[in-house]
Structure 1
Amino acid sequence: MDTITHTLFGLTMYAAIDKRNCSPHEKRALFVTAVGGSQIPDIDIVSALWDTGGRYQMWHRGLTHSVFLVPVWAALLVALNWLLFKVGGWRLFGLGVLAVLIHDTSDLFNAWGTGYLEPFSPMRITFGTIPIVDFMLWAIMIGGLLYVKLRKPLKAYRVYRIVGLLLLCHFLVQSLQGYVLHQQYGSQYDQLALSAGFIPGQFQLIGKKDGKVEISAATVFTQPKLQATLESKDQTDLSLLFAKNPKARTLHEWAPFVVIVDDGKQLAIYDPRFYRKGQQSFLYEFMDK
């Protein structure tokens, strides 16, 4: 998800805690843990500063987003709160685990995916059922905030817990629809990927078979509507491209599948999930011939 969404997750989590018996330092520690835990896996963006081998695409949302690192991040947040506020304990640790786990797990649902099982598996896990920027998630969380501000309920934290349930329902409904689409059309292709649209219930189906990639708009209630057909030169030797452009090797490893371009002028690969309106994907790596 984007940074704003992760921040809203953290703020909603903090607001959902009953803090009536908490001291000011305890409230600060809970805030730092909820919001910090919702952001800390994205610390991997600093790796771009020293990436000289074209590996950033694998590093970002890689090891720092691993489910096995969740308790490590939570423990670091507890240690930070002890240093800042002299507040610790298992309650903070549990909140840290939940905040980091929500960050890592929510990122599985969009097309970018994460290295959820690193370092034991380099595979990028992606479901493609939630857009990276999901305005429905924003609307649910901001709607909860407005309700609390306007109605001023005595136990506002209960409202935010309902907000959390609505967020979970949105993920479940979207993913159920994605699963149905995959079951309906997966057998038609050698490889199939999903990319969720900004409007709930709308998806792109990206299917590859015999060197041809078809991109179709689809919902569970309508037949897919073909938007683009792409030809992939799958028999092309990519070793020279990988040698001259290391980012191409990384993209080939990272993406579920790619389109290969060999038109006499360029040798290139790109991720068709990010193909838009006749333009190659912004994840496009090439070399001039």
Structure 2
Amino acid sequence: MASVFGHSIVGYTITKLIDNQNTKWLLVAAIISAMLPDLDVIGFKLGVPYMHPMGHRGFTHSIVFALIWALVLMLIFGKKHKLIWFLVIFLTTLSHGILDAMTTGGKGVGFFIPFNDNRFFFPLRTIRVSPLGVKRFFSEWGLRVIFSEFKYVFMPCFIIFGIRFLIRPKKDKEFKP
């Protein structure tokens, strides 16, 4: 998996690109949604095998899960801006599996669960896989993950912010990332 830092910056970036209202609660929900799929690691403690549809990188990393989660949050919180809430939450939740499918480890991502239990990776797998657990993350391995994510996740997000700033209409020129 990518680290919580990588997932969070993508959630932040997607929100800032779509939400012109600067809704703080949407930003918080998006960042949480970008990290949410990894709650499936609880399954390890419950004896759920990795490759089970409910295992790690299974259903919670799927397109169906992202759709359901986005609909739930849209209906609960998206009173005035339902479409924006849906798009931001759907894309940030889905971004989690996309990043994980670009990592150097694991057994793939179940994008199509519950319809197809196969796991997938993208051909470009350059993001170092993050260790599970806080202790292991604060190690040489975790440092390599952070450098990898800086290069392949943070820098593209910063470039997107720069482009957004340059092409923004003049009246709305104040940049608030």
TM-score normalized by the length of structure 2: 0.65
Contact preservation (8 Å) 2:97, 2:111: yes
Alpha-carbon distance in structure 2 between the residues aligned to 1:144 and 1:117: 28
Contact preservation (8 Å) 2:34, 2:96: yes
Residue 49 of structure 2, aligned match among 44, 55, 73: 55
Higher gyration radius (CA): 1
Contact preservation (8 Å) 2:62, 2:94: no
Amino acid at match of 2:91: L
Alpha-carbon distance in structure 2 between the residues aligned to 1:48 and 1:122: 18
Equivalence for 2:11: 10
Alpha-carbon distance in structure 1 between the residues aligned to 2:173 and 2:42: 43
Deviation (angstroms), 1:87: 5.4
Secondary structure of 1:39's match?
Answer: helix
Equivalence for 2:116: 121
Deviation (angstroms), 1:57: 5.5
1:138 aligns with 2:157: no
**Cα 1:80–1:44 shift into 2, 3 Å:** farther
Equivalence for 2:98: 105
Contact preservation (8 Å) 1:36, 1:77: no
Q: Which runs of 4+ in 1 moved over 3 A?
A: 139-146
Deviation (angstroms), 1:18: 5.1
Deviation (angstroms), 1:6: 0.3
Please show how residues 212-223 of structure 1 align to structure 2 within 5 Å. none
State how many pairs are aligned: 144
| Structure 2 residue runs without a partner (length 5+) | 130-144, 166-171
Richer in strand (by share): 1
**Cα 1:135–1:73 shift into 2, 3 Å:** same
Equivalence for 2:33: 37
Alpha-carbon distance in structure 1 between the residues aligned to 2:94 and 2:13: 15
- Deviation digits for residues 126-149 of structure 1, max 9, x if unmatched? 235222343312234357779x8x
Contact preservation (8 Å) 2:33, 2:89: yes
**Cα 1:140–1:105 shift into 2, 3 Å:** closer
Richer in helix (by share): 2
Contact preservation (8 Å) 1:37, 1:77: no
Secondary structure of 1:7's match?
Answer: helix
Secondary structure of 1:16's match?
Answer: helix
TM-score normalized by the length of structure 1: 0.42
Equivalence for 2:87: 94
